[in-house]
Structures are given as structure tokens and as C-alpha cells.
Homo-oligomer: A and B are copies of this chain.
Amino acid sequence: MANETHALNERAQLLLKTLVERYIADGQPVGSRALSKYSGLDLSPASIRNVMADLEDMGFIASPHTSAGRVPTPRGYRFFVDTLLTVKPLDRVEINQLEGQLQVENTQKLVASASHVLSEITRFAGVVVTPRRSAGFRHIEFLRLSEKRLLLILVTAEGDVQNRIIQTEKAYTPSELVEASNMLNQNFAGCTFEEIRRRLQSELKQLREDMSQLMAAALAAGDQAVSESAEDVVISGEVNLLGINDLSSNMTKLRELFNLFEHRTTLLQLLDVSSRAQGVQIFIGGEAGLTPLDECSVVTAPYEVDGKIVGTVGVIGPTRMAYERVIPIVDITAKLLSSALTQR
């Protein structure tokens, strides 16, 4: 008996597995009778109770109260997903369905549709961390809107388009604007704004003053545009979580959860962790130390461009979720996103 505090024998593992599976299916605490029926082990409830007591001692399961069955603890879930779970890969049909719903017109749409399709197909909340961009630019363009208002259009190295309106002190002529953008495009395409700043520093004095002002404005705006759009997280299908009984019974918890969704930064930190490792990662319950996520699990996978990890996709749902289904979905979505982005 004593050595069982460290390792689980095969029978205990099987029982834990069926217990978790049944609990995920039913949402009801599962008792010894049910377990004896569904484990396939041909043991009486009484014997199973012994094993369950051990599992409880080891912290894998717990009972809400004396006369209810047992439910998995976070630790129980952890063991389940790490060593007991068998995921079945998606069939071709589902992959095609996923792929068909991704909108590849531009990066924003791609990211938004990825998040949306994740939520649609899992019926939980889908999240995508927008791809990290390099600070470099590919193309820049000034456009005169009115007397002293310019529209700055910036195409990043990855082919994303950003734009912002700049107030200028002096009124530039269209040809001055063309001149400025030509100079930037021809000399500095591919550089980061930091580099441009350095290299311009020396030349800046030689330029006509109005032109140098324009450059400075462009640099400032470019810097800001790049840093601002640094990283963000797109969430969709939060509504789905309202329908989950495990969560919606606890109104206060539910509100905390939705507040978390609004304060993106906190969520971002959690998701960023996932982009350090490869492949699917699973955060269970409050493991991450985030109380609002107590009853939730987060399944994430990083996606990449040209072999470099640039962001994360994932699903947020109740801890009691069908992991064997969600895991491959997240996995494939990350891969689809990677390949869609790499094509650029």
C-alpha cells in the first residue's frame, strides 16, 4: 500500500481514467457503483471504493460532500491529460471544414476567423494572439487628406497594413510627399525604424528642413504604429461559456471570467507562456494562478511563420471539457494558421 502513494498501479489508472471520462460526459460526481459498471473491470463497488479512497488520499479525486460520488481534482485532470488521455486525430472532413472557414484576405481577418472557427467548432471561447511583427517596414506612403493632415500608410515586412492620420505644422505639396516616401522606400525598405533613425541622424541636417520634419513625423508615427500593434488577443464565442452549466451557476465567477477577457493584458501573459514550448499545451483550473480561471482549462498551441513562433491560438472552456476532441482541433488550427501566414 505504502508504495502506492508514489505510483498508480494499472488498475487505479484505469479507474481514474474512466472516472474522469464519465465525469466529463455527465457532469455528475461518479460513485463506486457507476464506476464498477463502466470500468469493464468486473469488480464490485466495494472493492472499487477502496481504490477510490486511495485516489482521494493521493489528491486525484475529491468528493463534494459525504454522500456524493467523486470528481477529479485539478491534479486528477492533470494526470489524466498527461498520461491517460488518448486523442483521436481529426478526419479529413473536419480539417477541410476548418480550413474552409479561414479567411485569408488579410492578417486581421485571418486571425479573427481563426478565433471564430475555434469557438464555433468547440462551442467554447476561441482565442488567438495576433502575430508578433518585426519592427521593419516594406513600404510607406504619405497621402494628403487636407491642408495639414496627412494619412500615413505603412506596410510591414509581413504584409500587414497600418494607417494613421498625422497633423503637420506646414502644408506639404503632393510632390513633396511623393519625394519623401520615395526616399524612405528606396533607401530604407526592410529596416526597422530604429535603424532608420540612426542612419538618418547624420543625413538629417543635410535635408531641407521641411523634409526633415516630415521624416521625423513619419518615424515617430511608424514607431508608435509598430509598438502599439505589438501583440493583442482576439477572443470570440465568449457567449458559449454562458451556456456551460459548470460556469454559469456561479454568477460572480462568471463575471470575473468575463472581466478577464476585457483586460487583455493578463490573458496575454498566460497565452504567451504557451509560445515558449512547441505543440499543444494545457492549463488546468487555477494552475496558472489566475483565480477567474478556476473552473476553466485553456488549451493552446503556438503557430509560426517561416519556422519561427509568432503567436498562439487556443480554446478556453470549462475544465470539464472533451480534451480528446479539443486538443486536435487546436493543434490543426495552429498548423493551418501557420501555413496560411507563411504563404506571404
Interface residues of A (CB under 8 A from B): 104-106, 138-139, 141, 143, 145-146, 149, 151, 153, 155, 159, 161, 163-165, 237-239, 242-243, 248, 251, 254-255, 258-259, 261-262, 343-344
Contacts and interface: CB of A to CB of B under 8 A. Distances in A.
Contact of A159 (B165, B258, B259, B344): B165
A274 B155 CA distance: 37
A153 B161 contact: yes
Contacts of A163: 106, 161
Contacts of A106: 163-165
Given A106-B164, A165-B344, A139 B146 contact: no
A151 B248 CA distance: 45
24 contacts: A104-B165, A106-B163, A106-B164, A106-B165, A138-B143, A139-B143, A145-B159, A145-B344, A146-B344, A149-B343, A149-B344, A151-B155, A151-B159, A151-B161, A153-B153, A161-B163, A165-B344, A238-B258, A239-B255, A239-B261, A239-B262, A242-B258, A243-B255, A248-B251
Nearest to A245: B251
A278 to B, nearest CB: 27
A24 B165 CA distance: 43
A164 B344 CA distance: 12
A108 to B, nearest CB: 9
Nearest to A166: B105
A44 B153 CA distance: 71
A165 B110 CA distance: 11
A72 to B, nearest CB: 25
A165 B105 CA distance: 5
Nearest to A254: B242
Nearest to A249: B251
B151 A153 contact: no
Contact of A155 (B153, B164, B237): B153
Contacts of A153: 141, 153, 155, 161
A146 B164 CA distance: 26
Nearest to A258: B239
A296 to B, nearest CB: 16
Contacts of A104: 165
Contacts of A242: 251, 254-255, 258
Contacts of A145: 159, 344
Given A141-B141, A259-B239, A344-B149, A161 B161 contact: yes
A59 B139 CA distance: 65
A155 B262 CA distance: 31
A177 to B, nearest CB: 11
A45 to B, nearest CB: 36
A343 to B, nearest CB: 8
Contacts of A243: 255
B344 A105 contact: no
A235 to B, nearest CB: 12
A288 B153 CA distance: 42
A141 B178 CA distance: 13
